[in-house]
Structure 1
C-alpha cells in the first residue's frame, strides 16, 4: 500500500494536481498487528507528507456485483455444508455499497471543504459476521450449518491455507484476515461519513439479491421453480 504507489502520488503532487484522494480502509492503524491495516495507515501518512490537503477515504467492507466479500461467502456456501463463525461470528461490519464509495470519492475530489479531511464510509446497517453469513445463506437459498471457530484455530487454518499460494491458488483464508476479524470494522463515533458528503447510504439487502442469485441452485429461476 506504500511503495510504488507513493511514487505515483508524489508525481501527482509535483504535477500540480489540485486534489488527491487516497482510498484507505477503516481500521488503518500504524500500530496494528495486521499487515493490511498497518500498511494502509503508513500509506495515509506518506500521502499526507507529500500533499497535506489530500483527502483520506476509509471504507468499511465493500459490497457490489464484483465484490470479494459476499461473493466469497456465497462460493463457500455452494461448496461447504457448514460455514465457520470465526471468533464466534460477533465481529461487526458496516458494509458500504461500491456505488456509494465511488460517489463519495468523486465528491471528496470536487468539494473544496473536503481538503485535508478524513472520511469513514459505512452503510446504513451494522452487521455481525454471523449476520453477513446468514444474509448470504438466505439470498442463495442455502441452508448451511454454522459452527463457531475460535480465532486461534482460524489462524492455524489460515497459515495452512496460505501454502496454496505457492502453487498459484489464492488461499480461502489468511492469518492476516483472521487478525483483522479480531477488531470491529465500523465507522468511528464522531467520524465524518457519507452524510457529510451528502450521500444517502444504500442498504446491503437492496443490492445483494441482484447478484447473489447466481449461487442459487437453478440460478435466477430458482424462486420460480420453488413456487
Structure 2
C-alpha cells in the first residue's frame, strides 16, 4: 500500500486527488489548514505561513505538494511560500519520500506575475533534489471551484464575453485526468524525475474554451466582444500593481503570457489519454450516456418515424451498455440532425465491414425495441387503425415510391457517403 501525504488536500485539485487515491487503496494523509471531510482517515495541520516544519509520518512514500497561496490579495509573499516548500522538501528527504510538486503553466523566471515567478523558483528547488514537477494546463471539470468555477460562473452571468485580440491560447486538462497523471507518477517506478507538462497537446483560444463552457456545460450561447490586449495592458499600467492584483488584472496578464507547452511525450510516457473537452465539461465528466441517448433518439426516430418516448430511449441505452460495453457509434452530424437520411446508407456506403456490421446490429436492436413498444405496435401491426382497400393501396404505393426514391438517391450520393462515413468516428 502506498502512503501519500497531500498538501492542499481541501483544495480544488487536492479534493479530487484525495478521493481518487483513497479509491485506489492508497493510505492518504491530508495536510491542510482545515481538516478535510470524513473520507480522509489521517490529517496533519499544514500552513504555508507557519515557520514550523511539517513532521511527516513514518512510512510516507510520496508527498504531493498542492498547497499554494491563490488569494487575490497575496497574503503570503514569495519568500514565505518558497521557504515553506523548502521545509517540506527537507521533511520528505528525512523520511525518504518521493516529492511531487504541482506547479503552474505560468511558471517562468521572467513571468509577469509574482505567482508565476514563485512557482518557477520552487520548481528549481524540487528539481535540484531529484523530485518531480508537474505543470498542468487549464484545469477544468468537477465541482465549480478554483479558476474553473470562476469562469463557469462568469459565462453563466455575462451575456457578453471578451474575445481578446490577439487571442491567448490555453491547453485544457480535466481534473480527473490530472489526478490520474499525478497518481501514475506516484506509483510507477519508471517515471523518471524531472518536469512533466500535462495538458492537451493542441492549444485552443481562450474564447473557444469559454464558448465550449457555454455550449457543453451550460447549454447556452454567448456573444463575444473583441477586446484588444493592448487596452488591458494600458489599463494595468495606469492603475498600479496593488489595484492590478485586487481587481484580478494580474491573472489576465498571466493568461496573455501563457507559453505553449509540449505535452505529447509526457502524456505518452505516462500512458495518459485525455478526454475530449466537450465530454469533460459535462457535469459528470463524461458525456458518453448523453451521446448514447442522442444515438438512440436518431435510430429509434428513423424506425418509428416519430420521436421515441423516454422509456424506450432508456431501454436502448441499457441495451448498448449491457451488450456493447456502452460504446458510442460516431455517426456524422448530418445523420444526427436528420435521421431520415439514414435511408441513404447501403452496402456501398461503408469502407469498413466491421463498422457496417456494427451499425446494422444497432439498427436491428432499435427495431426490435421499437416493435416491443406501444408506438411500434401501432406502427408495424396497425393496431388501433382501420383502412379501406383504397387507403391501403395508396399506402403500399407510397411505400414503393419511397423505396424507389431512396434507392436512386443512394446511387447518386454514394461517392459522398463513402467519404463521409470514412471520416466517421466509428465506435468509441
TM norm structure 2: 0.42
Q: CA RMSD, aligned part only?
A: 2.9
Measured in 2, the distance between the counterparts of 1:98 and 1:107 equals 14
User: 3-state SS of the aligned residue for 1:118?
Assistant: strand
Aligned partner of 1:44 in structure 2 is: 123
| Partner deviation per Cα, 1:28-52 (whole Å, 9 max, x = no partner) | 2112222222111101012233x2x
Shift of 1:21: 0.9
Return the match for 1:33 from 101, 106, 112: 112
Query: Counterparts of 1:74-93 in structure 2 under 5 Å?
Result: 74-88=152-166, 90-93=167-170
Measured in 2, the distance between the counterparts of 1:23 and 1:65 equals 18
Aligned partner of 1:113 in structure 2 is: 190
**Counterpart check, 1:205 vs 2:278:** yes
Shift of 1:157: 7.0
TM norm structure 1: 0.76
**Counterpart check, 1:135 vs 2:208:** no
Q: Is the 8 A contact 1:123 1:203 kept in 2?
A: no
Return the match for 2:256 from 173, 179, 182: 182
Higher RCO by CA contacts (8 Å cutoff, separation 6 or greater): 1
Q: Return 5+ residue gaps in structure 2 as ranges.
A: 1-80, 286-428
Q: Is the 8 A contact 2:139 2:148 kept in 1?
A: no
**Counterpart check, 1:64 vs 2:147:** no
Measured in 2, the distance between the counterparts of 1:131 and 1:27 equals 20
User: 3-state SS of the aligned residue for 2:101?
Assistant: strand
Aligned partner of 1:193 in structure 2 is: 266
Shift of 1:74: 2.4
- Residues 64 and 117 of structure 1: CA distance in aligned 2, closer, same or farther (over 3 Å): same
Aligned partner of 1:126 in structure 2 is: 203
Q: Is the 8 A contact 1:54 1:115 kept in 2?
A: no
User: 3-state SS of the aligned residue for 1:20?
Assistant: strand
Q: How many residues align?
A: 201
Q: Which is greater in Rg? A: 2
